[in-house]
Structure 1
């Protein structure tokens, strides 16, 4: 019987899906004007400039990149071009983000020395701030030492140091400098660190031994030190020499400090008309090491191109000025968005956020483009809208690549001709969109991004890897999404509800397949959560337009009948129930983990958070980071702890209730949440 139901719902969803076309929502002439105006080459020229800077938060080179953005915005004629300033002083709290100091580097070099005619002379330079700033770990502080090298392997356990004298020596490690500094330098007296930590794991992990990965030390160090970063290939040569009994001598010199200053974030707008007080945001993050082409100069120049495109169409009278204001922001990753939202005079005015982080990777990067609609803690029709636009671009660009004549090839003359091949996703974490979706603000939106990228966070994340065609397509998706949301009216509601109805069928077929793997109790709970989400998607329309009584009744009736069709057999509740209800402390705004600072670690204790089992848990469809993120997001003053467990199970896979209880009790202990009386 279950298989027959799955077949029926899947057949219905496919028949509805076959008629889906974004032109049912956005007039074809509007799509055409946006497509023709958007330039991948213009975006790429801006990227070529930005990637010259080593864009660490609040640094002089970040500021230089920001000035380029501001100059372009002024040249393009955007409204309200401004530089937003916030203190970078190491103490000011912006919600759950502690302001970080400016990291000011004046000089850094690492030289291997050799003896010649009784004197030690410089032989090879392995690190140089001026030419390859990635060779110095972020937040390294001043030091000057001439000493030998000791290999400590991972350097994360006592066994790695057994029988080794590292006092006053440089240590060679496969771990991030921040993972070994307390034991190697703080406890055992090493003089500094040389790391060859690889970048994020993918199928191409460690294949290219030329890569120098972005290294990190703490922005709030208990032990002050420095770390240089070398390639895996260079490290292997050093290890072989050490294994052969050779003594290797280095001179490491760093002149760097933490200073008080200001963050400065570029912003601009296309002012709206009758609903100008409501904002549609487009964001990226401007920081990251040089060259940082895909991560994230690509996102920065794509929203800049979206700004140029829409503003040009408005200024030339081709499109009318939008009803709502379209606003653009270039902050530092995650911390900048927390700062911005926590200081916003009224964040409820932000109706949507379209975030771009890594959107330009060409074939050499092995990137797959993705459009994420966000977590089920913030259900919205906007995720459906983004996916409809993405499917449209997929179909058109696939046809173009296959030799068909299409209306929207979205091809940049200097770029590739491959199909976009975008994947449509729900929750996918790791950038500023996490902040906007977070339970403090619950701002719906889209996250456009590449994953994997074999060169992320390395010296080979080069401008040459970036495809102007992909930049054009990302900017097009952003422009169409923003334009539609900025102009959505009551007249658009029927088409949106039809889209939601069609997609509800597809999502319900997925629910049925997942439900086969669940216990009877979890299957019933997941069905309830699933249709709760679908109903909330319908109601999300009300943030943009009027949902008439007739439209509301029709939508609710459709979902009720669909829920009846696939209803699971009733089960006797034999599972443990926790009816505690928590609510957020409104004075603590933001996620528990930010960038360079963790509120949870600071307030609960770094030594204790490792014991929280939910943080380490991996479910059928999610990891620990996603479970803890959504667990807090589901706290709303209405859901019980057991309800939160059911919502987590529906989205990410079954999870023990005691893991959820334990994590929420930890949050209660630091006053992030409180029991509702």
Structure 2
């Protein structure tokens, strides 16, 4: 059987409807690393994989702010229940609530312990080391662009009530960006009196304009959040082959709600891929090969490093890996291109060339004007290795790994990464190709 026939079998069985339903379900959870939402999303994935008759297990670890894997410390667990932020001077305006904008509280921010924090805004532009030795921020809120962890630590040391972070030159000025602090246990205790918020570039510019015109800007904020040790886990599900060797697939299931493309799309596609392969084998449409298929869902980096440290055979038994990270974009909405990010040249393997060949089969479905050849249905490209997701850990472990990823995405890491930006046909093409 040739490769084109194999692709046809997968195209026939793979359900874009199923995958989109998984995207919507996973997007419901606020999946910050160390949160209950992450646990709930992981349990949903585990239940789905188990229902398909796969051999499934959890590899557990602690979000305790102390445990280390290869020099990386897990953040202390964190849950948030409610929050709001408003301007009270020079005019009153409710800016955001957690229920409407989950990214408004920077992940792992301390809470206000039942109080409402009020303070004047101090705009400091860009962060640089030692900036608060020259600017008095005690009892105030610091407005600054990006670098949230560095700003938070220095502002907390200087006695600030909070930091308010925004992203400059945002492709979507109304979008509230996602940032994370990933605090250790020691840091969470040491800096517990300062909160961290995120606002859109549009709101930030409104406050900056008022300050530059000589008006005081005073804000209030309430954050109902707490740090505590939480369980974390990675999920490993196998479709067995003739030998205990596998082709691996991985997707991270963390990130704030909705996080539809990043990365409910990859996690959902992996669920449907597992169902599809198991169904095709059970029907006898394809014979089991020498290699099995191993599906892995992780909290990004943390969960992959935990596997490598606690159960290295789960990685050593994999010969080649494909990472699915942001694969479902509606390209005309997000402005993205489907990228095949190759394994580094120091890890030679046929997977790079095979991925490009299969992509041509899956994506080139339309005829040219003359009808003499075929043209792609989507924008896609093959690029050299670049870092940024869980394939990095596999490359570190000397396993050839590629990543399927859509980039750029103007809603990336914002509260506007919603399921309506997901294209079910794109989910299917990504899953069939992988």
TM-score (norm 1): 0.59
Secondary structure, counterpart of 1:214 in structure 2: coil
Q: Does 1:426 align with 2:402?
A: no
- Structure 2 match to 1:176: 147
Distance 2:370 2:147 in 1: 47
Cα pair distance change 1:344/1:223, threshold 3 Å: same
Deviations 1:377-403 (A, max 9, x none): 211112121121123334x2343x869
Partner SS, residue 156 of structure 1: coil
Q: Give 1:147's match in structure 2, choosing from 89, 94, 119.
A: 119
1:472-497 alpha-carbon deviations (Å, 9 max, x no partner): 1110011xxxxxxxxxxxxxxxxxxx
Q: Does 1:217 align with 2:181?
A: yes
Please give the alpha-carbon distance, in whole angstroms, between the structure 1 residues aligned to 2:426 and 2:38: 25
Instruction: Note the aligned Cα RMSD (angstroms).
Output: 2.5
In 1, the alpha carbon distance for the partners of 2:319 and 2:80 equals: 40
Separation in structure 2 between the aligned mates of residue 336 and residue 208 of structure 1, nearest angstrom: 31
Aligned-partner Cα distance in 2 for 1:402–1:227: 55
**Could you give the per-residue CA deviations for residues 615-648 of structure 1, whole angstroms, max 9, x where no partner exists?**
xxxxxxxxxxxxxxxxxxxxxxxxxxxxxxxxxx
Could you say which structure has the larger radius of gyration? Answer: 1
Show the counterpart of 2:34. 58
* Corresponding residue for residue 324 of structure 1: 291
Candidates 393, 409, 416, aligned match of 1:435: 393
Q: 1:359 aligns with which of 310, 324, 327?
A: 327
> Using the alignment, how far apart are the partners of 1:435 and 1:450 within structure 2?
20
2:162 maps to which of 171, 192, 204: 192
Aligned ranges for residues 528-543 of structure 1 at < 5 Å? none
Q: Counterpart of 1:284 in 2: which secondary structure? A: strand
Counterpart residue number, 2:269:
302
1:340 counterpart = 2:310: no
Change (3 A) 1:376 1:113: same
Instruction: Return structure 1 stretches of 4+ with deviation > 3 angstroms.
Output: 157-162, 401-406
Name the CA distance, whole Å, in 2 between partners of 1:48 and 1:106.
21
**How far, CA to CA, are the matches of 1:319 and 1:177 in structure 2?**
50
Q: Distance in 1 between matches of 2:108 and 2:68?
A: 20
State how 1:392-541 maps to structure 2 within 5 Å: 392-394=361-363, 396-399=364-367, 419-438=377-396, 441-478=397-434
Q: Which residue of 1 aligns with 2:201?
A: 232
Q: Is the 8 A contact 1:176 1:197 kept in 2?
A: no
Question: Kindly tell me: are residues 90 and 387 of structure 1, through their superposed partners in 2, closer, same or farther at Cα, counting changes over 3 Å?
Answer: same
| Correspondence for 2:348 among 370, 373, 379 | 379
Q: Cα 1:228–1:27, aligned 2, differ >3 Å: closer, same or farther?
A: closer
Conserved 8 A contact 1:359-1:448: yes
Count of paired positions: 424
Q: How much does 1:113 deviate?
A: 2.8
Distance 2:245 2:346 in 1: 22
For 2:207 and 2:89, how far apart are their aligned partners in 1?
A: 14
Q: Deviations over 1:544-581 (max 9, x none)?
A: xxxxxxxxxxxxxxxxxxxxxxxxxxxxxxxxxxxxxx
CA contact (8 A) 2:127 2:147 kept: no
The structure where helix makes up a greater share of residues is 1
CA distance in 2: counterparts of 1:332 and 1:404, whole angstroms? 46
Q: Is the 8 A contact 1:215 1:229 kept in 2?
A: yes
Determine if contact 1:127/1:228 at 8 Å carries over to the other structure: no
Could you say what secondary structure the match of 2:252 adopts? coil
Q: What residue is the counterpart of 2:77 in the other structure? A: 102
- The alignment partner of 2:245 has SS state of strand
Shift of 1:269: 1.6
How big is each residue's C-alpha offset from its partner over 1:567-602, in whole Å with a ceiling of 9 and x where there is no partner?
xxxxxxxxxxxxxxxxxxxxxxxxxxxxxxxxxxxx
C-alpha contact (below 8 Å) 1:136/1:227 kept by paired residues: yes
Secondary structure at the residue paired with 1:219? coil
Distance 2:204 2:392 in 1: 36
TM-score by length of 2: 0.90
2:250 and 2:323 in contact (8 A); partners too: yes
- Tell me what 2:16 maps to: 40
Rounded Cα–Cα distance in structure 2 between residues aligned with 1:244 and 1:421: 46
Aligned pair 1:208/2:178, yes or no?
no
Q: Distance in 1 between matches of 2:130 and 2:391?
A: 39
* Match in the other structure for 1:91: 66
Q: Is the 8 A contact 1:397 1:420 kept in 2?
A: no
Report the CA distance shift for 1:160/1:260 in structure 2 as closer, same or farther (over 3 A): closer
Give, in whole Å, the separation in 1 of the partners of 2:304 and 2:334.
Answer: 27
Q: CA deviation at 1:405?
A: 10
Distance 1:462 1:80 in 2: 32
Name the SS for the 2:6 alignment partner: helix
Q: Which has the higher contact order (CA 8 A, sep 6+)?
A: 2
CA shift, 1:156, in A, is 2.5
Q: Secondary structure at the match of 2:319?
A: strand
Q: 1: CA distance between counterparts of 2:231 and 2:37?
A: 13
- CA distance in structure 2 between the partners assigned to 1:374 and 1:296 by the alignment: 21
- State the secondary structure of the residue aligned to 1:442: coil
SS at match of 1:28: helix
Mark the CA change 1:107 to 1:345 in structure 2 (over 3 Å): closer, same or farther: same
Question: Is the Cα–Cα contact under 8 Å of residues 109 and 127 in structure 1 kept in the other structure?
Answer: yes
Tell me how far apart the structure 1 counterparts of residues 299 and 197 of structure 2 sit (CA, whole Å): 23
Q: Contact 2:7 / 2:362 at 8 angstroms: preserved in 1?
A: no
Shift of 1:168: 0.6
Q: CA deviation at 1:73?
A: 1.9
Q: Which has the higher strand share?
A: 2
How much does 1:159 deviate? 6.8
1:357 offset after TM fit, Å? 0.4
In 1, the alpha carbon distance for the partners of 2:281 and 2:259 equals: 32
Q: Which residue number corresponds to residue 245 of structure 1?
A: 214
Shift of 1:446: 2.1
1:637-661 per-position Cα deviation (integer Å, ceiling 9, x unaligned):
xxxxxxxxxxxxxxxxxxxxxxxxx
User: Which residue matches 1:282?
Assistant: 249
Q: Separation in 1 of the partners of 2:75 and 2:160?
A: 26
Gaps of 5+ in 1: 1-22, 116-121, 199-204, 410-417, 479-677
